[in-house]
Structure 1
Amino acid sequence: MKRFLLIFTIFAALFAYGNDLNDARRRVWNEYKASLPEILPAPMPLDSACGGSWVIPDSLEADAVMDFFFGIKGQAERYPLFIYLHGSGPRDYEWATGLKLASIFDDAPSAYFIPRIPREGEYFRWYQKGKQWAWERLLRAALASDFIDPSRIYLIGISEGGYGSQRLASFYADYLAGAGPMAGGEPLKNAPPENLANTPFSLRTGADDAGFYRNLLTSYTAAALDSLAAADSAGRYALHLVELIPGAGHSIDYRPTPLWLSQFSRNSSPRHLTWEDFEMDGRRRDSFGNLKIISRPEEAEGQRTRYDLNIHDNEISLTVNTVTYTCTERDPHWGIELKFQKEMHPARGGKVKIYLDEQMVDLSRPVRLTVNGQEQFNGLLTPSESTLRESATDFGDPTRLFPAALTTK
């Protein structure tokens, strides 16, 4: 009888909290938004796009200023946002070309953020730490804006921008409704395809584009995503379009990519998530999806950690493995690692916070958590406004305001 009364009392409290949950989310989000600086210009038509610039901290990249165009096409209450990364030619020419391409893409209504790489040369890339600072600044600003649709942010790029957008797509997949590198192709160690679960992905490269093995690496990406899709009954990898375009070299038709991506919206509360926690330019993220790293497991040099989260009927299963890469194919001229074999073993140590919401679990019922097959929690969760605030700070995302959380042991 006492157990029944306890469950009834908690259920009643959860019901009352559920009625107030949207109000609490709005309150928390508005407070978070008020703490952010206004860094995006007011939307203006793309053909008269306003510019702006961000100074990257010297500690990340010296003497680096990211100039950008920002503008809209068509009319909408909230616009899907396309982030376009240009190629490695003379940066002013490439930047202007990006603006022209954005103007002809058939994706209106849409908004475009078109940056110019801060410094040009063979050692400056879109994925480096200084640019990561800019991307995270942009993502939080766009998600907090009143005119960008937070569920429709896309990343595209051409040539060097294709390499960058493929790496960044795996690194920031949880923020994206889709990604579309073009005329690129990265070794998959640099852009683990497993992270693209729930994220539509397009990669289009000319079949004859052999420079830096772009066509070969594109074929490896296609094979990897096809294999992941075939093995995944949840359909998380089904939405990918990787093509080698017959008869084409490095120059291809770029118009299909944004049109294909624009049909998709982001799923912010997936019940199945994979995250290979990899470093990019020596830096790693401390959160992904609904996971927040408290401490990392033990890792030998060169190892990574992979998290596989599955939620079904209030049963939460988290599998944590260390990942070791072995190169199986190497370019004979420059030593570029082209293909790899992965080996995984159960991780030791580490803690991660798992954020949860009412789309993932029924908060009125007990939740069971297992980590690598061992039960770590079985009981009712207590939603709280403090957890909403923590998730707002961790993700800066109005679609990921989580009222409950569990921390692994």
Structure 2
Amino acid sequence: MRALRFVFPLCAALALFAIVFAGDPPPAKKPWGPKEKKAFAALLQKYVAAEAKDRPAIMTEIKALEIAGDQIAKQLPTVFSVIMQNGKKSEGKGDNHTVLPERLFTDDQWKKDHKGHYLINGDSKAKQGKPLPLFIALHGGGKNSADAGGAAGQWAGASSKCIVVAPWVLEPLTEGEWNKDNEQEWLHLLIDEIKYTYLIDTNRIYVAGHSMGGYGSWGMGGHHPGLFAAVGPCASAPIVRYENGRVLYHEPGCLENFYNTWLRFYNCPDDTQVPVHGSRYADAKFKEWDYKIDGKPSWDYHEYQGIGHGYPPDSLGPIIDWMLARTRNAYPKKLIWMPTRQYRPYSYWLSVEEVPGNAGERCRIEAEIKDNVVDVNFTKFTPKVTVWLCEQLVDFKKPVIIRINGTEKFNGMMAPSFEVAVESAVQRNDSNMIFTAKAMLFDLPPVDPNGGTTSTGK
């Protein structure tokens, strides 16, 4: 695993109001020998393998080791090595099956075996220690016509540079559609499985597909911000409500959440299966919102004449090249996020304690970090937000200010914490997105009389 480098300034933590900051002042430097390494390795293994409810107690034991600042960066590769060791592995190249939670299936025909099915091909250097891009190729079709092999062939141009994974929908003969929540959770689990098996460059994960696969690409990109570098929906559209010649509204989050994700999509005016109005609506919205990455428009929309529901005249090669030329910025200073998936309650450096199941209750969060000032603004219900920070986002040598809807809630020093680094690594399984301090912007539950953390973090 390639080395991960961090700088952890020795700053004091300060908690005010109802904000909890993880990360006490770093301890004085202590010896770090075989005994300490062995104790840490055992606790780390225990923490990664534990259920979420049991992890806080184990983290208390890790904290008691008082890992010195000069050991933190050295131990992070070990953290990800243990994460990979404990993760569910893929069978390898070719035809694969993986057991999934029964709750993801709706039809008894598929619930009995509750397995996901997918193909893997791609770069032959996948297990030679070099992190590689991951390309998810989604098939089109409907009932009785799902064909992951076809998708693998259509996007084979990516296989010389990436690991290409082509999954089947969970219920290909009945109700499987990529834009459904259960199918997208399956894809999310699949991506984690591939990351547990191969060294993946998490700044270069891509998803694309044609027709229904394009709808799935819109859904995966729009409901999983921070996961993909670029998304390539073809002959498809975001989910919109169209009546009397105009779009009335779109599925919450499916467009807003593309703020930091590259997107290339196309449609055809004479496509009788996927009318062009959805794509034109998305293009107009991105123009209205002025979505940009590095000062350039973050989306690229094409309309092709005369291809119907087919492919561009120059095939998919230019789309693949366009996508692979783009990488994810793991630490953008500005976020726009509508939380929509309960199994992924985080986006870059924000997370929420719960995601409303009712689309009408979902909130829009806008957050920005500038000159050590963190502004978090939201509408509708008040989300229980946690802000995750690191040296790429703030200068820990200076005070950090946090404002919620314009009201200052915190102004003081924050300290990086190895415990937070481990927590964020396990939660996200992303070696390129590590956070070392966090601010929980809400009241904690009552203190457990048998121990635990108080609302001031003491």
Q: Same fold (TM over 0.5)?
A: yes
User: What TM-score do you get using the length of structure 2 for normalisation?
Assistant: 0.72
Determine the C-alpha separation between the residues in 2 that align with 1:165 and 1:9.
43
Greater RCO (CA < 8 Å, at least 6 residues apart): 2
Return the match for 1:404 from 408, 415, 437: 437
Output aligned runs, 1:318-357, within 5 Å.
Answer: 318-322=376-380, 347=381, 349-357=382-390
Are 1:226 and 2:287 an aligned pair? yes
**How many pairs were matched up?**
363
User: Does the CA contact (< 8 Å) of 1:80 and 1:153 recur in 2?
Assistant: yes
Amino acid at match of 1:127: N
**Cα distance per residue 1:176-214 (max 9 Å; x no partner):** 11110101012231653221112101111123214342x
Q: Which residue of 2 aligns with 1:52?
A: 96
1:52 partner SS: strand
Return the match for 2:115 from 65, 68, 72: 65
Q: 1:251 offset after TM fit, Å? A: 0.5
Q: 1:373 offset after TM fit, Å? A: 0.5
Are 1:139 and 2:172 an aligned pair? no
Determine the C-alpha separation between the residues in 1 that align with 2:297 and 2:254.
16
Determine the C-alpha separation between the residues in 2 that align with 1:243 and 1:14.
56
Q: 1:380 offset after TM fit, Å? A: 0.9
**Cα distance per residue 1:60-83 (max 9 Å; x no partner):** 204153211101146573321110
Q: Which residue of 2 aligns with 1:193?
A: 255
**Alpha-carbon distance change, 28 to 75 in structure 1, aligned in 2, over 3 angstroms:** closer
2:363 partner SS: strand
Q: Which residue of 1 aligns with 2:265?
A: 203
**Alpha-carbon distance change, 69 to 306 in structure 1, aligned in 2, over 3 angstroms:** same
Are 1:247 and 2:306 an aligned pair? yes
Determine the C-alpha separation between the residues in 1 that align with 2:389 and 2:166.
34
**Alpha-carbon distance change, 295 to 133 in structure 1, aligned in 2, over 3 angstroms:** closer
**Cα distance per residue 1:325-348 (max 9 Å; x no partner):** xxxxxxxxxxxxxxxxxxxxxx4x
1:259 partner SS: helix
**Alpha-carbon distance change, 146 to 114 in structure 1, aligned in 2, over 3 angstroms:** closer
Q: 1:284 offset after TM fit, Å? A: 6.2
Q: 1:369 offset after TM fit, Å? A: 0.1
Note the aligned Cα RMSD (angstroms).
2.9
**Cα distance per residue 1:296-349 (max 9 Å; x no partner):** 69x987231111110011000000112xxxxxxxxxxxxxxxxxxxxxxxx4x4
Return the match for 1:37 from 88, 107, 114: 88
Amino acid at match of 2:367: L
Q: 1:245 offset after TM fit, Å? A: 1.2
Q: Which residue of 2 aligns with 1:386?
A: 419
Calculate percent identity across the aligned residue pairs. Answer: 23
Determine the C-alpha separation between the residues in 2 that align with 1:166 and 1:9.
42
Q: Which residue of 2 aligns with 1:25?
A: 76
Q: Which residue of 2 aligns with 1:336?
A: none
Determine the C-alpha separation between the residues in 2 that align with 1:167 and 1:256.
22
- Where has structure 1 moved over 6 Å in runs of 4 or more? 14-18
Determine the C-alpha separation between the residues in 2 that align with 1:295 and 1:122.
31
**Alpha-carbon distance change, 144 to 300 in structure 1, aligned in 2, over 3 angstroms:** closer
User: Does the CA contact (< 8 Å) of 1:140 and 1:397 recur in 2?
Assistant: no
User: Does the CA contact (< 8 Å) of 1:68 and 1:114 recur in 2?
Assistant: yes
Amino acid at match of 1:377: F
1:316 partner SS: strand
Structure 1 residue runs of 5 or longer lacking an equivalent are 1-6, 42-48, 323-346
Amino acid at match of 1:402: F
**Alpha-carbon distance change, 153 to 169 in structure 1, aligned in 2, over 3 angstroms:** same
Q: 1:390 offset after TM fit, Å? A: 1.5
Q: 1:102 offset after TM fit, Å? A: 2.7
User: What TM-score do you get using the length of structure 1 for normalisation?
Assistant: 0.80
Give the number of the structure whose residues are more often strand, by fraction.
Answer: 1
Structure 2 residue runs of 5 or longer lacking an equivalent are 1-8, 14-24, 30-67, 241-249, 443-458
2:396 partner SS: coil
User: Does the CA contact (< 8 Å) of 2:337 and 2:366 recur in 1?
Assistant: yes
